[in-house]
Amino acid sequence: MENIILIGFMGAGKTTIGRLLAQKLNTQQHDFDEILVRQIGMSIADYFDAYGSESFCKIETRVLQQSLQLTGIISTGGGIVLKKENRLYLQNRSNVVYLKADLDELVHRVVLDKRNVRPLATSKSPDEIREVYLPRLPLYEESAKFIVDTTKRLPEEIVLEILEKV
Ligand code: S3P
């Protein structure tokens, strides 16, 4: 089976669902944010401060291309769909799953997640997060083969739906 690539906004569950999927399929999970932190040698927040989001997106594109060599489940970062080049790449893959959720729930999850400092969401107001979210919606939709709604659902249910679809 081709890699399963999870896309979606911050807080959509790409890391958590990816981990469960990998366990279920007895394969590896590759988490973009972790790979990026290893490659840039600092936290994502520090990188944004020092070099900005454009530069971050360039590295993310490189990681996406490297992910061709990987087997397993790939949990991307929420900004992966911003570059057209990345969207074209995703459209050519067969198992790209968009984890969708209501904005209110995404905001809630991001606020509760104290482990990840996200430059575009942590310490921002719900309105500011909405401004980041709305223009991205069509980009996630056009990049994915399958859409799975994660709003108010248990991770195990979501994993089962993904496995039925891919
Ligand atoms: C980002 C999402 C983050 C991380 C960075 C930028 C975004 O990943 O890559 O903070 O632009 O949506 P998660 O979606 O895993 O939080």
DSSP labels, 138-149: HHHHHH-SEEEE
Instruction: Report the pLDDT value the prediction gives residue 113, as an integer from 0 to 100.
Output: 87
Which token pair is 135?
A: 């223009």
Residues of the chain with pLDDT under 50: none
Spatial contact of 151 and 105, defined as CB atoms under 8 Å apart:
yes
| 78 annotated ligand-binding residue | yes
Residue nearest to atom 8 of ligand 1 (CA): 77
- Given this model, what pLDDT does residue 20 score? 98
Q: What's residue 76's pLDDT?
A: 98
pLDDT of amino acid 121: 94
Q: How many angstroms separate the alpha carbon of residue 161 from the centre of ligand 1?
A: 24
Query: What whole-number distance in Å separates Cα of residue 99 and Cα of residue 18?
Result: 11
**Whole-number Å distance between alpha carbons of 108 and 111:** 5
Residue 1, pLDDT score = 77
**Residue bearing the CA closest to ligand 1, atom 16:** 10
> So what's the pLDDT on residue 68?
80
Q: Are 73 and 13 in contact (CB under 8 A)?
A: no
pLDDT at 114: 83
Q: Please write the tens of the pLDDT for every residue from 32-49.
A: 999 999 999 999 999 999
ipTM over 0.95 threshold: yes
> How far is CA 164 from each of CA 6, 31, 97, rounded to the nearest angstrom?
15, 22, 12
What is residue 145's predicted lDDT score, i.e. its pLDDT?
Answer: 97
Q: What is the DSSP pairing of strand 146-149 with strand 73-75?
A: unpaired
Q: How far is the CA of 78 from the centre of ligand 1 (A)?
A: 4
Domain ranges across the chain = 4-154
Q: What pLDDT was estimated at residue 69?
A: 86
Residue with tokens 């039925």: 164
d(CA 76, CA 83): 13
Q: What is the 3-state secondary structure (H, E, C) of 51-81?
A: HHHHHHHHHHHHHHHHHHHCCCEEECCCCHH
The SS3 call for residue 50 is helix
40, two tokens: 């840039």
98 contacts 143 by C-beta, under 8 angstroms: yes
Q: According to the annotation, is 136 in a ligand binding site?
A: yes
Q: Which fold has domain 4-154?
A: Rossmann fold (3.40.50)
Largest pairwise CA distance in the chain = 43
State the pLDDT at residue 52: 96
Looking at residue 12, what DSSP letter applies? S
Q: Is the CB of 8 under 6 A from ligand 1?
A: no
